[in-house]
Structure 1
Amino acid sequence: MISHSLPGRFPRNNPTRRLRAFLLGLFAAGMTALPLKAAEEIEFVYTPLVFSVSVASLETFAKEGKIDANLKRFLARATPEAREQFREALLTKIDIDPVLLSRFFNTVMGADMLSRLGKGITIQGGINGKYALRGAIVSAAFEPGGLTLLNVLKKFPNNIQLQGEEILGLAKALDYAIYVSELFTKDMRLWTAEEAAAVKPAINYASLPDLRQRSSFQVKKEVWNLTDSSRNRSLYVDVYIPQTFREGQTPVIIFSHGLASRPEDYAQAIEHLASYGFLVAAPQHPGSDIKYLQGMLAGYYRNIFDRDEFINRPKDISFVIDELARRNASQFQGKLNLTNVGVAGHSFGGYTAIAIAGASIDFDNLAKDCNRPYSGINIALLLECRALELPRQVYNFRDERVMAVFAANPVNRSIFGEKGLSKISIPVLLASGSYDPAANPIFEQAISFTWLKTLDKYLAMVEGQAHVNFTELDAGMQKTLESVVDITLPNQNLIEDYTGALLVAFFEVYIADNEKFRPFLLSSYAEYLSQGQKFKLDFITAASDEKLSQLIEKLRARRQ
């Protein structure tokens, strides 16, 4: 806790506070190499003090709840609640295949994570403990009891040290991140209500079409297998085609999937959009999809994604638009509007959408953020920092045919920076989730929103959304997460309702040029959709830009 610098205390049952406790357990569980001799004591260094805690004492405490003389001074100031949380953290088991874990740590992202943890968990003399860390974690995962913090501690070599100042700094950074996230969530709710109250006259949304429901267009899905000969790159595209055309030209949307996923994972949102008469094409990005991840886990690749995906993904979008143009006359009777295309994307796909909208990579800003102390608490940087492997040159991904982008949970802030994002001149909607651990909204969307110079910009946040659809990935994952960190996630159908309505409203206005949908891009519509819901949709426009900028500046000043 940094109670001296943060007003008040977090409520005991606050989900982000519990999540912090769990994450601290995970961070602590990132500890050490297959040791020649297991540690009997863990040495804590807090200059000029050095003291040790017996591993046997920790094991007795974890399994029996007993605190002996050796451990008593270590826990002297801890509250009963904190002691119980520490005990739970020692015994919490993380189910993971040790072979896959070992392969992950061999990737650039895995090595980066270990290197960041190794600043606080060192070899005697302050040497980064990343190699020792890897061995202890993997070795513990092979134990019959599985990967627990206690088992990792038991695998420590004798010369390991925990650097108190570094670990305390990390804890403070986590506390600060939680504080700013909670404050941002509270203010987003307030600003949404303020913008909604300013809408005069009030809009009766009950009398308007319900954008949460699918529309009347029947949709057929085709799968195109394509090769871009200029890049020697083969990919498939899921194409959702309305079976009847709208009056005039048919609007076109390209959808970019996230890291380690596939176009099919977003079928519900895509079909919803297509039911309104949009043709939606969702390309596979072969260097960063689920097949590539499976290849890494099988030992065929060294990394979770190919570093050239930062370049290839936006080029995939342009390639698909080119292919649609080639087929327009023969397959679509020339009905497709390919001079006013929309792009939507999720996570890494959000990066893709923002890149093709005109944002440029700012290598200097990225390098600065990647080397910032405790920057690892922003997990998105594990992905973004890999762009530093690219040749340092000016990359221009802008496709002038793209006229509006919808980026959901995008990783973007550090890789583009203010200089890169300010180049965008087309409408942008940034969507986020208040529980997102991978692309935290205050780090990855809120600050980016203030850097956008386009007046047609929107920031949406689904309260409780946690980056991915856990029910789609694993039927038991949501239940497991809720039990481990004691949080409740919103029903996925509610998230789909919010997302589907926003997708339709945004692209109807900016791609289909249908002003009848403009009222749905107001905060009052978010308030209407949120009625009676525990997890609400927060939504602001450029009207709240100054308030958000002031909040960010206040938080920066407090941190300094």
Structure 2
Amino acid sequence: MQFRLGKNWRKASWAQKLLCPLMLVLGWGVGMPSTIAAQTVTIRLGPFQQSVALADLEKFAKTGRLPQGLELLSPVLNSQVRELLTKRLEVNPAVADRFIDNLVRSPGGRQFISSLGGVIPGSTAESIKATLNFALRQANGFSALSFLRAYPGENVTVDATKAVGLAVDLNPNNLQSQAFGVLLERELSVASSIPFKAAFDPAGLGNQVVQEQTIVLNDRQRNRTIPVDIYSSQNSSQANPENPLVVLSHGFGANRKFLSYLARHLASYGITVVAVEHPGSNFDAVNRASDKQNLAQLLPGTEFVDRPKDISFALDELAKLNTQIGQLQGKLNTEKVTVIGHSLGGYTALTLVGGELDLEELRKFCKDSLNIGEAPGDWLQCSATSLRDRRLKVKDERVKSAIALNPLVGNLFGKKGITQITKPVLILTGTEDALTPALKHQIEPFTQLRGEKYLLTAIGGTHLSISDPIYPQSAATTIVRERRGEETKSLRQLTKGVSLAFIKQLTPEAKIYKPFLTPAYAQSFSTPELPLRLASELPASIKRWLEPVEK
């Protein structure tokens, strides 16, 4: 899927569109520091080659004006390229060594370095690592231009054709998250020679027979038709009135079946689960969009308000149903609710539990900082800028806790919106999530939470690793590599156990389930291919990575 980047981008030539990802790649560094700095850059676009003096590129990046002799390149050297030439990667210099070490240990990092070998003919993995190490120690950060100044030899040749595929999958935020993942795996590990043992495992199937039914709710005031699937125990006498009602919110371009395996699991323990379909951002809505390159058609800004309102409206209607004679009577505890959401549904869950949108801060980011090097989730959030408000609250007091799986957060809540959340929250992050990269969308927001909190980390997990294996993968999510199915089975098992234990904290059985919200329990599901970690607080060694770089 391609998102519309603006009028100038739509008119860009094929050469411009090749060069922008190229400059992103350059901004992440190759080569080796040398006393002989490159003087020219040769851009290779298939059979086409053009050499550009580095000094002229620097003048262009600084002033936006093309020096004499470069006018012929004006269709290629546009404002987007200028922005990417100066875009900087900032990592605290104190952790530069560990950043490189962790990067080369992660599968995604190794793939990135290997791919760069094809982008920069003649480079080696050692030269790439050496240059990154050198550049990350610079106080002013690392950029494409700072790399070019240090590249050995008088000329550096770049194969732009091979750079195209790296722009989305290996964006800066995603690459930082991959390197950070190795640190999380090590620092959040618990060392014990005694395997985790308990009287039962909440990841195993419960003893109650599950029934499923679908009802359709009509919100006439907002002209929204909202189908919901209800999962509950078949035996009404076994319904526990202390259990909260669980509401599932799917992600952008998905539907209410996305987490059906989790819904059935929770219902097997007597917890009623309601999976809500959001009509403005589900699979059908995205598929119906007449212009799929227009982000405003794919995701209207109003959807950031309508989604939480869908759930509040559903709770109003279910409260009425709870008093009526029938299979669901007494099973719909709408006054004590846990919302579980994935991706855009994770955003939805966080707003309902108290997160406040900072639309003024979001507009500033989308206007001044957004570029093609950002992750798809960072582009998607900018749909909300069409809303008129400066700040926005859609909190529902009936929602007592939230589970946010790979949530879309980014800049939606500004610097303080997440700090308004004081109720229990569990966040899942995958360190190779290229759509909503871990650091920006999950880990930094986790540190801002003010209530009881848990961070479940899948080292090497991707955006859809949590999804039901039988759920079809849509075209909207095939732009990046995903790890699903059998290779992420351990993550889904752990998610079932941890989710049940987290939800049970709202009941008199809280102490019984508390041992399953521990690092040892999470680590018991780890595999060499997919290490799993759980933490309620990040240690100081990790927090150092999140400290802002001093200018």
Pick the TM interval, shorter chain: 0.5 to 0.7
Cα deviation per residue 1:493-533 (whole Å; 9 max; x = unaligned)? 22321221221111112357532000000111112222x54
**Aligned partner letter, 1:261:** A
Q: Deviations over 1:181-206 (max 9, x none)?
A: 24421222233225x76xxxx98643
- Superposed counterparts of 1:104-123, under 5 Å: 123=75
SS at match of 1:538: strand
SS in structure 2 at match of 1:265: coil
TM-score (structure 2 length as normaliser) = 0.67
Partner of residue 551 from structure 1, selected from 540, 545, 551: 545
| More contact order relative to length (CA 8 Å, sep ≥ 6) | 2
2:411 aligned with 1:414: yes
Following TM superposition, by how much is the alpha carbon of 1:379 offset from its aligned partner in structure 2, in angstroms?
2.6
CA distance 1:270–1:335, change in 2 (3 Å): closer
Correspondence for 1:541: 536
User: How far is 1:31 from its partner?
Assistant: 8.5
Partner Cα separation in structure 1 for residue 546 and residue 388 of structure 2: 32
Q: Is the CA contact 2:217–2:314 (under 8 Å) kept in the aligned structure 1?
A: no
> Do the aligned partners of 1:263 and 1:283 also contact (CA within 8 Å) in 2?
yes
* Contact kept? 2:174, 2:434, Cα under 8 Å: no
1:364-393 Cα offsets, whole Å, 9 max, x none, are 321333322657423311111111111124
Contact 1:217 1:243 in 2 (8 A): yes
Q: Distance in 1 between matches of 2:521 and 2:370?
A: 40
Q: 2:346 aligns with which of 340, 346, 350?
A: 350
- Flag the 1:185–1:125 CA change in 2: closer, same or farther, 3 A: closer
Q: Is the 8 A contact 1:211 1:500 kept in 2?
A: yes
Structure with the higher helix share, 1 or 2: 1
What is the CA deviation profile of residues 83-142 of structure 1, one whole-angstrom value per residue up to 9, with x for unaligned ones? xxxxxxxxxxxxxxxxxxxxxxxxxxxxxxxxxxxxxx9626735589xxxxxxxxxxxx
Q: What is the deviation of 1:303? A: 1.6
Could you tell me how far apart the structure 1 residues matched to 2:370 and 2:291 are? 34
Q: Please say if 1:464 is aligned against 2:460.
A: yes
Is 2:78 the counterpart of 1:126? Answer: yes
Amino acid at match of 2:457: M
Q: Return closer, same or farther for 1:366/1:490 CA change in 2, 3 Å cut-off.
A: farther
Deviation of the 1:320 alpha carbon: 1.4
User: Is the contact between residue 227 and residue 276 of structure 2 (CA under 8 Å) also seen in structure 1?
Assistant: yes
Q: Could you tell me how far apart the structure 2 residues matched to 1:237 and 1:377 are?
A: 34
Partner of 1:429, secondary structure, is strand
- Once the two structures are TM-superposed, the CA of residue 316 in structure 1 deviates from its matched residue by 0.9
Hey, what's the Cα distance between the residues in 2 that align with 1:324 and 1:486?
36
- Helix, strand or coil for the counterpart of 2:333? strand
**Partner in structure 2 of residue 223 of structure 1:** 214
| CA offset digits 1:150-209 (Å, max 9, x no partner) | xxxxxxxxxxxxx97599799999686466324421222233225x76xxxx98643431
Structure 1 position 360, deviation (Å): 0.8
Cα-to-partner distance string for 1:258-285 (whole Å, 9 max, x where unaligned)? 0000011221111111111110001110
Aligned counterpart, 1:436? 433
User: CA 1:168–1:490 in structure 2 vs 1: closer, same or farther (change >3 Å)?
Assistant: farther
- In 2, Cα distance between equivalents of 1:128 and 1:238: 45
Structure 2 Cα separation of the partners of residues 313 and 279 of structure 1: 21
Higher mean displacement: 288-297 or 359-368: 359-368
Check whether the contact 1:123–1:129 (CA below 8 A) recurs between aligned residues: no
Give 2:386's match in structure 1, choosing from 386, 389, 398: 389
249 and 444 in structure 1: CA distance in 2 versus 1, 3 angstrom threshold: same
- SS of the residue 1:338 aligns to: coil
- 2:265 maps to 272
Query: Superposition pairs for residues 15-34 of structure 1, below 5 Å?
Result: 33=11
Q: Check conservation: 1:413, 1:447, Cα contact below 8 A.
A: no
Q: CA deviation at 1:464?
A: 2.2
- 8 Å CA contact 2:171–2:375 kept in 1: the answer is no
The answer to whether the 8 Å contact 2:173/2:437 transfers is no
In 2: Cα distance, 1:425 partner to 1:270 partner: 26
Q: Aligned-residue CA RMSD in angstroms?
A: 4.3
Where 1:525 maps in the other structure, the secondary structure is helix
- Structure 1 gap segments, 5+ residues each: 1-26, 59-69, 75-120, 131-162
Q: Evaluate the alpha carbon distance shift between residue 467 and residue 122 of structure 1 in structure 2; reply closer, same or farther with a 3 A threshold.
A: farther
Greater CA drift, 421-430 or 521-530 = 521-530
* 1:522 corresponding residue in structure 2: 518
Cα 1:539–1:168 change in 2 (3 A) is farther
Which residue of the partner structure matches residue 493 of structure 1? 489
**Residue 491 of structure 2 contacts residue 525 of structure 2 at CA under 8 Å; is this kept in 1?**
no
SS where residue 496 of structure 2 aligns? helix
| Other-structure match for 1:246 | 239
Residues 281-430 of structure 1 aligned to structure 2 (within 5 Å): 281-296=274-289, 303-330=297-324, 331=326, 332-370=328-366, 371-372=368-369, 374=371, 376-430=373-427
- d(CA) in 2 for partners of 1:56, 1:172: 18
1:57 alignment counterpart: 47
Query: Which of the numbers 196, 199, 205 marks the counterpart of 1:214?
Result: 205
Partner of 2:255: 262
Asked if the contact 2:243–2:504 (Cα under 8 Å) also holds between the matched residues in 1, the reply is: no
Greater shift, 467-476 or 405-414, is seen at 467-476
1:449 corresponds in structure 2 to 446
Tell whether the 8 Å contact from 1:464 to 1:490 is kept in structure 2 after alignment. no
SS in 2 for 1:422: helix
Distance 1:362 1:419 in 2: 8
Aligned CA distance change for structure 1 residues 475 and 557 (closer, same or farther; 3 Å): closer
The one-letter code of the counterpart of 1:499 is: T
What is the CA–CA distance in structure 1 between the aligned matches of 2:391 and 2:171, rounded to whole Å?
37
- Structure 1's 52 and 287: CA in aligned 2 closer, same or farther, altered over 3 A? same
Matched-pair identity in %: 26
- Helix, strand or coil for the counterpart of 2:423? coil
Equivalent residue runs for 1:9-48 within 5 Å: 33=11
Tell me the distance in 2 between the aligned counterparts of 1:214 and 1:445.
29
CA contact (8 A) 1:249 1:336 kept: no
Q: CA deviation at 1:211?
A: 2.3
